[in-house]
Amino acid sequence: MGAAILLAFFLAAALALMAMTGDGIRLLVARRRANRPPLRLVVTERVDLTPDLFRVRLARADGRRLPRFQAGRHVAVRAQVDGRVLRRGYSLAAWSPRPRAYELGIRRETRGRMSSHLHAQLTPGAGVEVSPPAGAFVLDLQDARRVVLVAGGIGITPMRAMVHRIGCLPARARPRVVLFQAARLEADLAWADEFRALAEEAPWFRYYPVLSRPAASWSGWRGRLDAKCILAEGGSAAADFYLCAREEMMQVLIGQLRQAGVAPERLHWESFGINAGGGWHHPVEIDGRRIASSEGTPTLLHALEAAGIDVTAECRSGECGNCRLRLEKGEVRWLRQAPAALPAGEILACCCVPVRPLKLSRVRFGTEAETR
C-alpha cells in the first residue's frame, strides 16, 4: 500500500510538472536563481567615464575563477541603502571563457538610490556582494551568420560582452557583426575607442555610433536610430537582432523592424527604465499601509519604494519576476506585456501603474513572503 501511495505521488508530481507552461518553469527557475548564495567580491579597478557613468572590475579576493556565463547575462548587486537591503541587476560588460573578474558599467540615475550609492561606494578595495550570473537575454550563436547589436545609453554593456564572445570564435565560425550605439553626447559613448579600434582591424565587425545631441565638431551619425538606418547598414532582415535600451526606444525599433519584415524569432531584447510617461494619483493599500503616487512616479514599484515599502526587484523590467504581487482589488495598466505568463490575479509592480484604487498583498512561495 505504501509503495502504491508513493508511486501515485510521483505520478501526480510528474503530471503537474508536465502541465506547467514554459513561462511557469521560467519563473520558477528565475526564483531559484535569485536565492542562490551570493558571490563576495572586491573592486579591483574603477574608471569614471563621465561624472555619472563609471565602470568597475570585481574579483575574488584570492583571485580564484568566477562562475562562467553566457554573454548578455547580468548579476544582481546587493547593498544596504538607508537601512534597507536593495538588489539591482547590472549587465556584465565583458566576457571571458574563464573569468577571473566581472566588469560592470553603471550610470548614476537622478532618482536612483542604488546607483547613487554604488557611485559613492564602489571604489578600489571595497567589498560587494553579487548574485551568480543569470538572465534570459543571451547571445545565441547557433546557425548565426549575421548579428546586429543595437544599444541605447548604458544598454551597451551586454553588447560589449557579446562582441567579446563572438571575437573568441574561430574565424570560420564567426558571424559578421554590426554594432549601433546610440547616446545623447559623445562623452556618453562608453568604450567607443575600443569599438573603433576593433572595426579598423577586424573585417567581421562594423561600428556605428549615433548621437542625438552632438557637438558641432561631431562628424558621425546624428539624430535617432530607426529601422531604415539599421537595415541599410546592418544587412538583411534575416540577421539576428539584439537590442538593449530604454523601453520607449526599444518598442519603436521593434515595431519598425517587424514592419520591415524581420521575423519575431530573430528579435531579442532587454529593456530598462520602464516609464509611465506621467504621474498617477490612485491610492494603493499594501501591508496595512495606504500610499498615493506623486506626479512623475514612473511605475507602481517606484511608488512603493518611495514610500519605504520593500519589494524585491532585480531587473526592474519584468524579466526576473521577483516583484510579483497579488491584486486583491482594483485595476492596473500594463506598461509592457509581462515577459512570462503569471498566475491569475498576479501583477509585476515594475510593469504596472494603477488606473483605479488598489489593494495588494504579497505573493508567497511556500511559507515565505516575497520580501526581504
What is the distance between the alpha carbons of residues 135 and 185, in angstroms, rounded to a whole number?
29
pLDDT at 251: 85
Residue 104 included in any domain: yes
Q: What is the pLDDT of residues 317-368, one digit of tens each?
A: 777 777 899 999 999 988 877 767 788 889 998 888 888 899 999 887 543 3
- What pTM did the predictor assign? 0.78
Residue 10 included in any domain: no
230 shares a domain with 164? yes
Residue 125 included in any domain: yes
259 shares a domain with 197? yes
| Residue 90, φ and ψ in degrees, nearest 5 | -130, 130
pLDDT at 19: 42
Helices (DSSP H) in 105-155: which residue ranges?
A: 113-121
The residue-averaged pLDDT of 38-60 equals 95
Please state the length of the chain: 372
266 shares a domain with 151? yes
Q: Are strands 146-152 and 240-246 parallel, antiparallel or unpaired?
A: parallel
Of 130, 165, 184, which marks where a domain is finished? 130
Domain count, the chain: 3
Residue 1 included in any domain: no
DSSP designation for 38:
P
Residue 247 included in any domain: yes
256 shares a domain with 159? yes
Helices (DSSP H) in the chain: which residue ranges?
A: 2-19, 22-34, 113-121, 156-167, 192-201, 227-234, 247-259, 300-306
Of 66, 99, 130, which marks where a domain is finished? 130
Q: What is the CATH number of the domain that holds 349?
A: 3.10.20.30
Residue 138 included in any domain: no
Please state, rounded to an integer, the average pLDDT across all residues of the chain: 84
Residue 277 included in any domain: no
One-letter identity of residue 100: R
Q: Does residue 304 or residue 164 have the better pLDDT?
A: 164
Question: What is the pLDDT confidence band of residue 14, given thresholds at 50, 70 and 90?
Answer: very low
Q: What is the CATH number of the domain that holds 54?
A: 2.40.30.10
Query: Longest C-alpha distance within the chain, in Å?
Result: 84
113 is in which domain, residue-wise?
Answer: 34-130
123 shares a domain with 90? yes
158 shares a domain with 257? yes
Nearest residue to 234 (alpha-carbon basis) of 278, 310, 177: 177
What is the distance between the alpha carbons of residues 129 and 85, in angstroms, rounded to a whole number?
11
The residue-averaged pLDDT of 93-119 equals 91
Ramachandran assignment for 125, one of left (phi > 0), alpha (psi -120 to 50 degrees), beta (any other): left
Of 272, 298, 333, which marks where a domain is finished? 272
216 shares a domain with 314? no
236 shares a domain with 344? no
The residue-averaged pLDDT of 85-114 equals 90
168 shares a domain with 260? yes
Q: Does residue 14 or residue 76 have the better pLDDT?
A: 76
237 shares a domain with 180? yes
Torsion of CA 366, 368, 370, 371, to 10 degrees: 180
Residue 16 included in any domain: no
265 shares a domain with 150? yes
pLDDT at 117: 93
157 shares a domain with 264? yes
Q: What is the CATH number of the domain that holds 184?
A: 3.40.50.80
